[in-house]
Structure 1
Amino acid sequence: MSPPLILIAETHQDLRQKIREYLEQSGFRALPAASAHDIYSALTTTPVGALVLDAALRGPDGLDLCRDVRERSDVPIILVAANSSEVDRVVGLELGADDYMAKPYSARELAARLRAVLRRGRGERALGLRRQTEAIFEGWVVDFARREVSDPTGKQIDLTAAEFSLLSVFLDHAQTVIARTRLMELAGVRDTPSSDRSIDVLVSRLRRKLGEGGRPAPIVTVRGVGYMFSAVVDRR
């Protein structure tokens, strides 16, 4: 199996080259991108394993670009930006990023975070292949083998890798209260000072998508403890 290909969308050429060299020395393949056009071209022609996206990339606003990429693809996205405020981290996660890094950052830390998001994706695929089953709740159908989610009308709902991982955890622990720390561990959310907020944002994103059909999502907040998936889940 060839090493995963990392698309490096970084504004500054010197940093782009530095990151590329380090990632290739660390066992990845790396492809530089200097514009939104480069990103879209790579995503349509190359099996990209993950995207490192600079929020200040030339062309469209970086956050708008993050949202647009997420609408087109479920490729893991690590968003990097000069502003590291909680608001910016939350906005980035809301727009579909799987992780957020503040500039300046080290190439070593980036490589570690890339391994984490790729490992989570491989874990989900392995889990799906092992189960070869469907989970059904309130008319929704989750196909683990194909990683597809359909609402009661049959319409497919696009979930990011992180959202699908979280939904899988909820389905495995339906009608059971899960502490937030345990939920972070099971869903593969990194343990950082902002982890609590990150899992809340992820739950909010999933809840919003499961509520698109007009019925509230069966995700209950248990104040001071965590969350519970309240629906009855049938597996086939």
Structure 2
Amino acid sequence: MRLEKHIALVTGAGRGIGQGIALALADAGADVAVADLDINIARETAARIEKSGRRSIALQVDVADPDSVNAMIEGAEAALGPLGITVNNAGVISIKSVGELTLEDWERVMQVNVRGIFLCTQAALRVMRPRGFGRIINIASIAGKIGFPDLSHYSASKFAVIGFSNAVAKEVAAEGITVNALCPGIVGTGMWRGEEGLAGRWREAGETEEQSWARHQKTLLPQGVAQTPADMGQLAVYLASAEHVTGQAIAVDGGFSL
């Protein structure tokens, strides 16, 4: 699947899953606008894309701010051309039981993970609909299909992303635009790794974080191994090229979820 002559935008693309998706789209031939709250890491990803021979630009964005989102879309199009593919990946997480959660914890996750997806999707549709073409990929999670302890607020936000994506897909289905949710499984990024991640929090007595990480891969995943940002990139490339796949929430999780 090739994406030459397509312009893509990926939010939260400075590291992790967003970076993996941005690099995969570039490898498939797209020119890619790399957006992140941290402009320095966005520039690093953009430099890697340019080194591979594709055009790229780094943009700073706060996805919860409508003015910032609109400026991101305008900046991407001014630098690269008409936007055809948008991957709304930017998100945040904290790991707390429902009893530990504060209102501030809840609102921060909802502001970025739900409001941000809404604002970025709406802004992308403003430029896509008049052209009769678009591919919108909203990054959800397997936690948007199956609830996880200590992640009630995060799961709620990702269930919302899936429902929102399915509804919007039906609104624009006859306009040449597809909208899908991509649901990463267990990826060795900040959500899972480190003492503050799930592998650290869910350690058994006498277990190191590394041992906990290995155990969760073996017990939760039928394939027995974690997924990678590059795995997410493979699905993103497919969804960016698929004409008749829309309204779906597709997991890349080694067989964990339905």
TM-score range for the pair, normalised by the shorter chain length: 0.3 to 0.5
TM (norm. structure 1) is 0.41
TM (norm. structure 2) is 0.38
Q: Which has the larger share of strand?
A: 1
Q: Which has the larger share of helix?
A: 2
Structure with more relative contact order (C-alpha pairs < 8 Å, separation 6 or more):
2
